[in-house]
């Protein structure tokens, strides 16, 4: 039984408009047990979600609970899925979408190494001063600046440093918290 | 009983007994010998020795699906654990409650590439609902209890407990804990009353309602099944189900439309497409069900009841999402409907329209001549066994879909199949598990000749424990489902889909002490089935069927419900690249 052409016509799928991307900061409180970070990171890679930055540290005196702050980007639908998927993990206490919840503070810290002499060196110092970046290491031909603030501010500072001899950068990723007196 | 000091292996077995475990499916090895020694010295838990660890997990799944109780697996480290991975993933996809205990190298050797070491918790992290590496024997008792709690509550699933060998021999006190109250894991049972109320109102106001039920009804248990039937009677809506939910609603009911989705009935898919209110109950809008998303039931308001909020809006946006156990939500819906003495508002022509779709008789086939139509074989099998309330398992492929279409069920927990992962090789071990749970019931694996070879070694398990399972192979000498797709997509180029060098299944059966039966022509069918049923031990039927039969109806991947292929002549040709890329 050899099937014969012609091929069955199949309607092509109408291209749906791409959904707009949103950037959200999630604050995830977890039991500080072995493998919990792997569970979360693995969830993002397994389901194809983005991680822009991720920070983690324990936040309770007995080291039993950690806060993981994740900055992610995706269509609204995906952000909602991410939250539901995170909440499904057994060691997760709570997931707060800070971006969704309202006003919140986001900060990150970067160490920025700049090398140069003469005019460039003076300019680097002057720019650092404007950004309230502090030199934390100095040689005759280099600085390491410590800068902190919103990711935007840190980005901007790094961009400027490129022109005066940027060597390397280390960033912490975002730590974030809801404004006001109540916990998120 | 006061806590007494025991070894980790003893604690494990004691905890399993406390949890009501009666049977373990397993396979021994170096890293679990202490546990096996304890099992050997007691009589409260039975151990079923499988022939491959994948078989152990599917057997535990079959046991769980048929009985509603969690299945338990015990395997060794390294290859024992990796062999179990397919089964664990299968249980995750189909929400089956099982607990898998794996041995591990002693804690001080972890990370050294020790003999038969593998990173079991790493490997199973994303294919289990949860997993544990127990490094402290004092934690073992509580972990085992917690593991069962997590496996069996909320959306059920597989939980893995990895136990290093030194923990199995270390000593600690064990005390049976009270009910587990988890710090973070608290699935919601009752639905939000206001949302449930709105759902009832929507349903009562619907002119063209439909109930779309899924495996969640079976997971939830007898309450959900009872209340589904009550609500269906009250609201008078037609009922369809996914592959995983078959049996929750009786197929003999005039409200039953048959299965929906890729190989569902024309009437079920058309009714889904044209309904105005859809009530999804424990179903997850799988791609086999929705077809093309943007054409999926475009004019309906959708209510979705699910215990797992991540199921909401995952593929299809719904209008009302109710988180909770579907049994409890249905119970509340029925109560509200009764209290308010509501009357359905179904339009006069809704059932007329449905009757017209039914009249297409989409599952019709013609059996003529000696060559057996596979659908006919299943129909004859059904006719011969229906009064015995059998449990049916399947492998994966055309035979699975034909069984779903042509073997109607009246009750839940009679239909055990691998839906989400679609694991060939599931059916025989699952049948063994179901038979262990119900030694006196009739259990039949409806199989394909390719699938059955994937876990054929489990024939030895059935023989050893005298489990009278039946295997009914629809032998078309092809990986029929693959061959059908090749005809649909690749102009009939049958790349590697021919089942070459098949064994003589009758001799193979006999070699294992089974009864082997061959059915070659239509007139041999009834007698062959009778010979299978009259044997009080395991029996294997090699039923030769037509080689090129296609499983219809079919919605090609990525097509809409209304673009269903009903006729044989449409199974041919090529697809554009976008359609070809879909599974
Ligand atoms: C070859 C092949 C062809 C297939 N063709 C079809 C087809 O034509 N039609 C079809 O339907 N399927 C088909 N399938 C199966 C399909 O792949 C999916 O497995 C199936 O559709 C999923 O069923 P479900 O939606 O009922 O979800 P399940 O996988 O059974 O999931 C259950 C859902 O219920 C929820 N739930 C669990 N417990 C509860 C509770 N107590 N209360 C409330 N909610 C709960 C879960 O969170 C989940 O969302 C096919 C599979 C194969 C291998
Ligand atoms: C483990 C595994 N490997 C591959 C597949 C892909 N697959 C799906 S159906 C099928 C053919 C099944 O053939 P058979 O068991 O003879 O059943 P039939 O379709 O002929 O009824 C294959 C290879 C699968 N589902 N599972």
**Residue B548 and residue A46: Cβ atoms within 8 Å?**
no
Q: Output the CATH code of domain B193-358.
A: 3.40.50.1220
User: Quick one: closest CA in B to A39, which residue?
Assistant: B125
- Asked if A91 has any chain B CB less than 8 Å from its own CB, the reply is yes
| Minimal-distance CA residue to ligand 2 atom 13 | B479
**Residue B573 and residue A85: Cβ atoms within 8 Å?**
no
Closest CA to A28 of A169, A167, A184: A184
**Residue A10 and residue B133: Cβ atoms within 8 Å?**
no
Task: Domains for chain A: give ranges and CATH numbers.
Answer: 22-102 (3.30.70.260), 105-178 (3.30.70.1150)
Residue B79, φ and ψ in degrees, nearest 5:
-65, -30
Beta strand A175-178 with A104-115: parallel, antiparallel or unpaired? Answer: antiparallel
User: What pLDDT was estimated at residue B155?
Assistant: 98
Report whether residue B396 contacts ligand 1, using a CB cutoff of 6 Å: yes
Ligand 2 neighbours, Cβ below 6 Å, are B 395-399, 422-424, 448-451, 474, 476, 478-482
Distance CA B337, CA B348 (A): 21
Domain B4-174 in CATH 3.40.50.970? The answer is yes
Specify the domain boundaries for CATH 3.40.50.1220 within chain B: 193-358
Specify the domain boundaries for CATH 3.40.50.970 within chain B: 4-174, 374-551
- Predicted model pTM: 0.96
ipTM surpasses 0.90: yes
Q: Find the DSSP H helices in B97-240.
A: 120-124, 137-152, 165-169, 193-205, 215-220, 222-235
Nearest ligand to residue B549 Cα: 2
- Has residue A157 got a pLDDT over 80? yes
**Residue A1 and residue B574: Cβ atoms within 8 Å?**
no
| Minimal-distance CA residue to ligand 2 atom 20 | B480
From chain A, the residues in CB contact with B574 under 8 A are 5, 7-8
Interface of A with B in 59-88 (CB under 8 A): 77, 80-81, 84-85, 87-88
User: What pLDDT was estimated at residue B2?
Assistant: 63
Asked whether B427 and B446 are in contact (CB, 8 A), the reply is: yes
- Asked if A181 has any chain B CB less than 8 Å from its own CB, the reply is no
Helix (H, G, I), strand (E, B) or coil at B546: coil
Distance CA B257, CA B212 (A): 10
From chain B, the residues in CB contact with A74 under 8 A are none
- Torsion region of B511: left, alpha or beta (phi above 0 gives left; psi -120 to 50 gives alpha): alpha
User: What pLDDT was estimated at residue A10?
Assistant: 44
CA dihedral B403, B408, B414, B417 (to 10 degrees): 30
- Asked if A90 has any chain B CB less than 8 Å from its own CB, the reply is yes
User: What pLDDT was estimated at residue B313?
Assistant: 96
| Res. A12 pLDDT band, cuts 50 70 90 | very low
Q: Output the CATH code of domain B374-551.
A: 3.40.50.970
**Tens-digit pLDDT string for chain B (583 aa):** 567 899 999 999 999 999 999 999 999 999 999 999 999 999 999 999 999 999 999 999 999 999 999 999 999 999 999 999 999 999 999 999 999 999 999 999 999 999 999 999 999 999 999 999 999 999 999 999 999 999 999 999 999 999 999 999 999 999 999 999 999 999 999 999 999 999 999 999 999 999 999 999 999 999 999 999 999 999 999 999 999 999 999 999 999 999 999 999 999 999 999 999 999 999 999 999 999 999 999 999 999 999 999 999 999 999 999 999 999 999 999 999 999 999 999 999 999 999 999 999 999 999 999 999 999 999 999 999 999 999 999 999 999 999 999 999 999 999 999 999 999 999 999 999 999 999 999 999 999 999 999 999 999 999 999 999 999 999 999 999 999 999 999 999 999 999 999 999 999 999 999 999 999 999 999 999 999 999 999 999 999 999 999 999 999 988 999 999 998 888 777 777 777 888 7
Distance CA B414, CA B408 (A): 10
Report whether residue B90 contacts ligand 1, using a CB cutoff of 6 Å: no
Closest CA to B247 of B214, B283, B288, B280: B214
Distance CA B38, CA B241 (A): 44
| Minimal-distance CA residue to ligand 1 atom 37 | B216
Closest CA to B377 of B289, B459, B474: B474
Active site members of B: 53, 115-116, 165, 481
**Residue A5 and residue B492: Cβ atoms within 8 Å?**
no
Across residues A69-97, what is the average pLDDT?
96
């Amino acid at each position: 039984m050899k099937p014969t052409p012609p091929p069955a016509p199949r309607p092509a799928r109408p291209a749906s408009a791409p959904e707009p991307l949103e950037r959200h900061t999630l604050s995830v409180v977890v039991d500080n047990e072995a493998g919990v970070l792997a569970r979360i990171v693995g969830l993002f890679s397994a389901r194809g979600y983005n991680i822009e930055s991720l920070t983690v540290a324990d936040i309770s005196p007995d080291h039993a609970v950690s806060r993981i702050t994740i900055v992610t980007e995706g269509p609204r639908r995906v952000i909602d899925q991410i939250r539901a998927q995170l909440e499904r993990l057994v060691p997760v206490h709570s997931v707060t979408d800070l971006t969704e919840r309202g006003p919140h503070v986001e900060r990150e810290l970067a160490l920025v190494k700049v090398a140069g002499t003469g005019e460039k060196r003076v300019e680097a110092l002057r720019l650092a001063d404007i950004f309230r970046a502090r030199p934390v290491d100095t040689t005759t031909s280099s600085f390491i600046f410590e800068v902190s603030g919103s990711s935007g501010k840190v980005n901007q500072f790094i961009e400027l440093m490129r022109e005066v001899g940027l060597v390397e950068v280390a960033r912490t990723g975002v730590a974030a918290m809801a404004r006001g007196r109540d916990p998120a | 009983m006061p806590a007494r000091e025991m070894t980790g292996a003893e604690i494990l077995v004691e905890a399993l007994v406390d949890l009501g475990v009666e049977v373990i499916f397993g396979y021994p090895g170096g890293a679990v010998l202490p546990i096996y020694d304890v099992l050997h010295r007691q009589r409260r838990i039975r151990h079923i020795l499988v022939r491959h660890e994948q078989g152990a997990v599917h057997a535990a799944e079959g046991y769980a699906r048929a009985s509603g109780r969690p299945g338990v697996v015990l395997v060794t480290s390294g290859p024992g654990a990796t062999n179990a991975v397919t089964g664990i993933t299968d249980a995750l996809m189909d929400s089956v409650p099982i607990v898998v205990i794996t041995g591990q190298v002693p804690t001080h050797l972890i990370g050294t590439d020790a003999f038969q070491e593998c990173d079991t918790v790493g490997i199973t992290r994303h294919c289990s609902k949860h997993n544990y590496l127990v490094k402290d024997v004092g934690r073992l008792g509580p972990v085992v209890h917690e593991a069962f709690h997590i496996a069996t509550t909320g959306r059920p699933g597989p939980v893995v407990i990895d136990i290093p060998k030194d923990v199995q021999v270390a000593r600690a006190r064990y005390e049976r804990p009270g009910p587990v109250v988890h710090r973070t894991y608290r699935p919601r049972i009752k639905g939000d009353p206001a949302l449930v109320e709105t759902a009832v109102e929507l349903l009562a106001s619907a002119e063209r309602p439909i109930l779309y039920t899924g495996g969640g009804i079976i997971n939830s248990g007898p309450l959900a099944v009872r209340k589904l039937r009550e609500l269906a009677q009250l609201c008078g809506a037609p009922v369809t189900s996914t592959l995983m939910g078959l049996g929750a609603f009786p197929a003999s009911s005039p409200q039953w439309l048959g299965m929906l989705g890729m190989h569902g009935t024309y009437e079920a898919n058309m009714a889904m497409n044209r309904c105005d209110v859809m009530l999804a109950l424990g179903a997850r809008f799988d791609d086999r069900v929705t077809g093309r998303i943007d054409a999926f039931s475009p004019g309906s308001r959708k209510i979705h009841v699910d215990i797992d909020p991540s199921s909401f809006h995952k593929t299809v946006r719904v209008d009302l999402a109710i988180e909770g156990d579907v049994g409890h939500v249905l119970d509340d819906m029925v109560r509200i409907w009764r209290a308010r003495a509501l009357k359905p508002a179904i339009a006069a022509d809704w059932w007329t329209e449905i009757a017209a779709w039914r009249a297409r008789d989409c599952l019709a086939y013609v059996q003529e001549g000696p060559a057996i139509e596979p659908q006919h074989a299943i129909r004859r099998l059904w006719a011969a066994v229906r009064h015995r309330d059998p449990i049916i398992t399947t492998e994966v492929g055309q035979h699975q879909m034909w069984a779903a279409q042509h073997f109607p069920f009246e009750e839940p927990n009679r239909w055990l199949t691998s839906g989400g992962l679609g694991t060939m090789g599931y059916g025989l071990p699952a049948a063994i598990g179901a038979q262990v749970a119900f030694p006196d019931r009739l259990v039949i694996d409806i199989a394909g000749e390719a699938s059955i070879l994937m876990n054929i070694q489990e024939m030895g398990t059935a023989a050893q424990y005298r489990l009278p399972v039946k295997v009914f192979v629809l032998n078309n000498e092809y990986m029929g489902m693959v061959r059908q797709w090749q005809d649909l997509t690749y102009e009939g180029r049958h790349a590697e889909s021919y089942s070459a060098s098949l064994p003589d299944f009758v001799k193979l059966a006999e070699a294992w002490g089974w009864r082997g039966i061959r059915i070659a022509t239509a007139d041999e069918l009834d007698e062959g089935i009778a010979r299978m049923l009259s044997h009080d031990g395991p029996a294997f039927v090699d039923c030769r069927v037509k080689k090129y039969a296609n499983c219809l109806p079919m919605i090609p991947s990525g097509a809409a419900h209304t673009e269903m292929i009903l006729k044989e002549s449409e199974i041919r040709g090529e697809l554009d690249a976008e359609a070809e890329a879909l599974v």
